[in-house]
Chain A
Amino acid sequence: DAGVIQSPRHEVTEMGQEVTLRCKPISGHNSLFWYRQTMMRGLELLIYFNNNVPIDDSGMPEDRFSAKMPNASFSTLKIQPSEPRDSAVYFCASIKVDRAEAFFGQGTRLTVV
């Protein structure tokens, strides 16, 4: 398996623009997580899905953030409109039902100017 695949690896956008981050989890994994990593706040859980269903989105900072998982092999995190304070590395991770290990993507480094 190719592992968790995130795209793009890097994204630079202007304030006010819409940004869409993409994630393909490992096949057979039933849970998917979106995290945001910053120097100040570490790794924050934004939202997670179990069997494609959003379970807890209390970590989503504002209504500008939204996430979807239309099927077991794809998820998106959208920011609209983007702001400079959204600049961070965004990670997607997936895990099997046995919870043996969460596998992370390489992350998307987002810069909003």
Chain B
Amino acid sequence: AQTVTQSQPEMSVQEAETVTLSCTYDTSENNYYLFWYKQPPSRQMILVIRQEAYKQQNATENRFSVNFQKAAKSFSLKISDSQLGDTAMYFCAFDNNNDMRFGAGTRLTVKP
């Protein structure tokens, strides 16, 4: 089975600064999807950004962007101009068009 590794259990960043969350995955497949989900204290899982493996261009969504390195099997999330509302658990996910597996999560705290 595919595995997803998030090596940073906790991170913090000052408001308005930039932070990067790391994610690596292990697969032998060539076609797949990668996601970052945010889980605020409300417990709701919210999609932040999605990347299709066949696309070389890194996905961006406003202040959120990814650095997708397919050969290295790396998929990091960069949050620019961090806001207090970005405080949450962030999960990286791998989807091979069958199952969807998540990393252990990174707890991000944005400090005022």
Contact = CB atoms under 8 A, between A and B. Distances in A.
Contact of A42 (B1, B45, B105): B105
A16 B50 CA distance: 41
Nearest to A100: B50
B97 interface: yes
Contacts of A33: 99-100
Give chain A's interface residue range (CB within 8 Å of chain B): 20 to 34
Interface in A65-113: 89, 91, 93, 95, 99-102, 104, 106-107
Contacts of B99: 33, 45, 48, 55-56
Interface in A1-59: 33, 35, 41-43, 45, 48, 50, 55-56, 58
Interface of B: 1, 33, 35, 43-45, 47, 50, 91, 93, 95, 97-105
Given A33-B100, A42-B105, 13 more contacts: A33-B99, A35-B102, A43-B91, A43-B103, A45-B101, A56-B98, A58-B1, A89-B43, A93-B45, A93-B100, A95-B100, A101-B50, A102-B47
